[in-house]
Every structure is written in C-alpha cells, then in structure tokens.
C-alpha cells in the first residue's frame, strides 16, 4: 500500500475553488443578475473539480454519486443566499476591488452546498418526486436501481443514497469555507455565525416537520418556523456572515439582522399567500397547491385563530386532501372573510417597513442600502 499512500499525502489540496474567480471582475457583480449567478457557479463548478482528488480513488460508484450532487447544485437557483451574504459584506465596507474579494465570494458560495443538503434531505422527508423539473435525488437513484435490474427495494436504495449525498453536501459546504482562502481572523469571525446558521435551519426544519405531524397550530408556532427555516437561513444569517467577514461592528450587525429577520419573514408570508391565491400561469404551480399539501402557514394559523368552530372544521378537514377547484375556492373565501388575508398583508407591510427602516438609519454603505431596498421589494411584492 505504501506507494499509493505516499502519493496521497499531498495536503492541502492542490487547487482552491477561489481560483475560478481569477478572471472575473468582482466590482461589477450585483446579486440576482446573471453575472453574479455565473460567478457563484464558477466557484461551485471549480470546487467540485477539486473534490475529484479525494473522490476518484474510491472508484466509479462514488464518482457517479458526487457527479449527481454536482449536477444538482450547478443546475439550481438564483443563488439568493450567496447574494445576501455578498451584500452584507459590501454593506459593511467590503471592497470588491480588494485582495479578499475572491475568498469572500467563495465562502459565500458555500451556502449553496448547505442548501443542497437541505433540499436533498427535505425531498426524502416530503417524498417529493421532482425538483426544478428533474427527478429528485432519491428518485433518480431509485430509477438507477431499477435500470440495473437489481433485486431488493429500489425506493430504500434511493433514499439511502440520497441521505449520503445530502451528508456529502453538508460536509463539502465546510470544506469550501475552509479552502476559500479567508485569512484566519476573517474565518474566526465567520465560523460562529456559520455554526448558528446551520443549527438554526436544521431546527427550523424540525419544527416544520413537527408542526405538520400534529404539533402546535398557533400563529406563534408558524411564525417561529418562518423565522428559523426561512428568515434566519435565507436572509438574516447570510447578511450576518458577510458582515462578519467585513468585520462589521455590533450596531451594523444588529441592523442587518433586523432587516434579515423582518424581510425574511415577510418573504415567507408572501410565499404563503401565493401558495393559496397565486396565479398558476405566473407561479408555475397548481392553483391552491399549499392547501392540497396541507402546509401549516401563518395564513392558516391566523384563519384558525379567527374562525368559529364551523369554519375551523372546514379548514381542518379540507387541508392536506385532494381538494377540487371548487373546494379550493371555498377555502379561499373563508380565509378572506375571516380577515386572515388582510392580517397577513398587514404583517408583510409592517415587517418590510421595519426592516427597511433598520437599514435606513444604519451605517450600511450607500450602494448596499440601495441593493437591500430593491431586494426587500422583490421579496415581498412578487407575484411568483
């Protein structure tokens, strides 16, 4: 074994994912734009290439699994979380023309790997069959089991592989942070926020599962799930991570976190309304989808809180069942008539206002204030 082991000593790994940004002008990046999305994807693609050094010796079965994770990650999304992290860094005075910028954007991109773990595992938990128009990871591997004509339980095999691929994403998220090239002081500021963020999102998911299983149906419980599963994870902690990298003071961090929490919750409340009232032609999801899925949102909790026993029974017995379009319409009318919709619209308005106000009176840099303003309106006034 000696030769192979001696050849494998080479730590640290020979390349950093941050190298992929060498030719990218980081001063021109605006979160949400194709240029920003492209830069994050360069980092991620490059990172997956660096993993080959560890993955390849295990052989083609593991190479295929790692490739499935890479495709899942590179295929997806608007890179919202790296966008907020980058904005937090800019807002706390980070210099996109400076020597740290590539390392910062690389570390911010690691949020997409935490997200990959959350989605892959969530899809197992929710028994979801498709995501972004492709089979979910567990369904993909169930299909491969079938195609190979293996004996045994293909669904169990698919779930097993997807559990491990999600774990791999979570482990690799850390690896990307460590290999980003941050200086030790910046890494030391980043790490405790990163710790809180990961624990909070797992806690938020747990509360969500518990709520759906039969737990607390109060407005407070629904708001707490929003706070940890969505707001903290999508906006508050990403902004905090970026601000920590830039060495922001406590007051600025507090302002960014107020914005992140308030706008994050408002974002989810808008999502809840769209899940019931959204136009299928715009959202791309069936009308009233959340009602059929039985999602326990603030909107539903507020409706139940306001309902007389008869209306409450109508909501409870309808939720999570195969509702007809007429049933969906009836539930919509009930929720409107109870004032639950106006209540949620009011919360969105108030939260957006308080979040924006926290930023307005803070020391956030001017360009980042503008970005945060635009991002808040995009998150809370959207129709899809």
HSE (side-chain half, CA atoms, 13 Å) at 221: 19
Q: Which of residues 127-146 bind a copy of itself (CB under 8 A)?
A: 127, 145
Q: Which is nearer to a copy of itself, 44 or 341 (CB)?
A: 44
**67 is a site residue for a copy of itself (CB under 8 A):** no
Q: Which is nearer to a copy of itself, 42 or 198 (CB)?
A: 198
Q: Which is nearer to a copy of itself, 135 or 203 (CB)?
A: 203
**Cα 299 to Cα 305: distance, rounded to the nearest angstrom:** 10
Q: Which is nearer to a copy of itself, 91 or 278 (CB)?
A: 91
Q: Which of residues 193-252 bind a copy of itself (CB under 8 A)?
A: 193, 195-196, 198-200, 202-207, 209-210, 212-215, 224, 228, 244, 250
Find the shortest distance in angstroms from Cβ 23 to a copy of itself.
26
Q: Which is nearer to a copy of itself, 250 or 308 (CB)?
A: 250
Structure tokens of 61? 């079965």
**Cα 84 to Cα 186: distance, rounded to the nearest angstrom:** 18
**54 is a site residue for a copy of itself (CB under 8 A):** yes
* Total interface residues for a copy of itself by CB under 8 A: 80
Q: Which is nearer to a copy of itself, 206 or 384 (CB)?
A: 206
Find the shortest distance in angstroms from Cβ 175 to a copy of itself.
4
**Cα 300 to Cα 217: distance, rounded to the nearest angstrom:** 9
Partners of 130 in the beta sheet? 135
301 within 8 A of 335, measured Cβ to Cβ:
no
Q: Which of residues 86-125 bind a copy of itself (CB under 8 A)?
A: 117, 121, 124-125
324 within 8 A of 331, measured Cβ to Cβ:
no
* Alpha-carbon distance values, 384 to 122, 174, 258, 274, 276 (Å): 22, 32, 25, 7, 12
Q: Which of residues 362-381 bind a copy of itself (CB under 8 A)?
A: none
Polymer length in residues for the chain: 384
Q: Which of residues 298-357 bind a copy of itself (CB under 8 A)?
A: 354
Find the shortest distance in angstroms from Cβ 343 to a copy of itself.
18
Q: Where are the alpha helices (DSSP H) in the chain?
A: 2-8, 34-55, 60-75, 80-91, 101-109, 111-125, 137-147, 154-178, 184-213, 219-225, 237-245, 250-277, 280-283, 289-293, 298-306, 309-318, 325-337, 340-360, 366-380
Find the shortest distance in angstroms from Cβ 195 to a copy of itself.
4
Q: Which is nearer to a copy of itself, 158 or 288 (CB)?
A: 158
Q: Which residues are CB-neighbours of 97 under 8 A, at least 6 positions away? A: 26, 27
DSSP class of 130: E
**172 is a site residue for a copy of itself (CB under 8 A):** yes
Q: Where are the alpha helices (DSSP H) in 9-59?
A: 34-55
**Cα 219 to Cα 24: distance, rounded to the nearest angstrom:** 46
Of 35, 74, 155, 164, the one binding a copy of itself by CB under 8 A: 164
Structure tokens of 150? 């293996």
Of 62, 283, 293, 327, the one binding a copy of itself by CB under 8 A: 62
Q: Is the peptide bond before 12 cis (omega within 30 degrees of 0)?
A: yes
Supply angle C-alpha 135, 136, 141, rounded to 5: 85
Q: Which stretch binds a copy of itself (CB under 8 A): 88-96, 103-111, 154-162, 366-374?
A: 154-162
Q: Which of residues 245-284 bind a copy of itself (CB under 8 A)?
A: 250, 253-254, 257-258, 261-262
Of 24, 35, 45, 178, the one binding a copy of itself by CB under 8 A: 178
**Cα 272 to Cα 290: distance, rounded to the nearest angstrom:** 8
Of 58, 313, 377, 378, the one binding a copy of itself by CB under 8 A: 58
Find the shortest distance in angstroms from Cβ 340 to a copy of itself.
22
Structure tokens of 345? 């619209």
264 within 8 A of 230, measured Cβ to Cβ:
yes
Q: Which stretch binds a copy of itself (CB under 8 A): 87-95, 96-104, 176-184, 321-329?
A: 176-184
């Amino acid at each position: 074994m000696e030769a192979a082991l001696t050849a494998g000593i080479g730590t640290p790994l020979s390349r950093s994912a941050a190298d992929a940004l060498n030719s990218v002008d980081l001063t021109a990046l605006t979160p949400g734009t194709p240029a920003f999305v492209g830069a994050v994807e360069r980092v991620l693609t490059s990172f997956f290439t660096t993993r080959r050094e560890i993955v390849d010796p295990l052989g083609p079965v593991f190479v295929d699994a790692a490739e499935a994770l890479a495709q899942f990650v590179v295929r997806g999304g608007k890179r919202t979380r790296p966008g907020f992290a980058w904005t937090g860094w800019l807002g706390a005075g980070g210099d996109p023309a400076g020597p740290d910028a590539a390392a910062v954007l690389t570390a911010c991109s690691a949020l997409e790997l935490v997200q990959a773990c959350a989605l892959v595992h969530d899809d197992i938990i929710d028994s979801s069959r498709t995501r972004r128009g492709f089979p979910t990871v567990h369904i993909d591997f169930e299909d491969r089991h079938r195609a190979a004509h293996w004996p045994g339980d293909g669904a169990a095999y698919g779930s097993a592989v997807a559990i491990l691929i999600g774990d791999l994403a979570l482990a690799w998220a850390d690896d990307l942070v460590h290999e980003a090239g941050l200086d030790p002081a910046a890494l030391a500021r980043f790490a405790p926020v990163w710790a809180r963020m990961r624990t909070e999102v797992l806690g938020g998911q747990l509360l969500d599962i518990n709520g759906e299983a039969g737990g607390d149906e109060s407005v407070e419980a629904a708001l707490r799930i929003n706070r940890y599963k969505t707001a903290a994870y999508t906006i508050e902690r990403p902004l905090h991570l970026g601000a920590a990298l830039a060495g922001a003071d406590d007051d600025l961090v507090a302002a960014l976190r107020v914005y992140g929490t308030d706008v994050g919750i408002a974002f989810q409340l808008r999502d809840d309304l769209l899940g019931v009232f959204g136009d299928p032609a715009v959202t791309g999801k069936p009308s009233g989808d959340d009602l059929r899925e039985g999602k326990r949102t603030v909107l539903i909790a507020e409706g139940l809180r306001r309902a007389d026993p008869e209306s409450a029974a109508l909501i409870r017995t309808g939720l999570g069942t195969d509702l007809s379009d007429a049933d969906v319409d009836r539930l919509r009318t009930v929720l409107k008539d109870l004032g639950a919709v106006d209540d949620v619209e009011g919360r969105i308005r108030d939260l957006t206002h308080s979040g924006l106000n926290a930023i307005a009176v803070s020391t956030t840099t001017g360009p980042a204030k503008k970005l945060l303003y635009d991002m808040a309106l995009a998150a809370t006034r959207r129709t899809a």
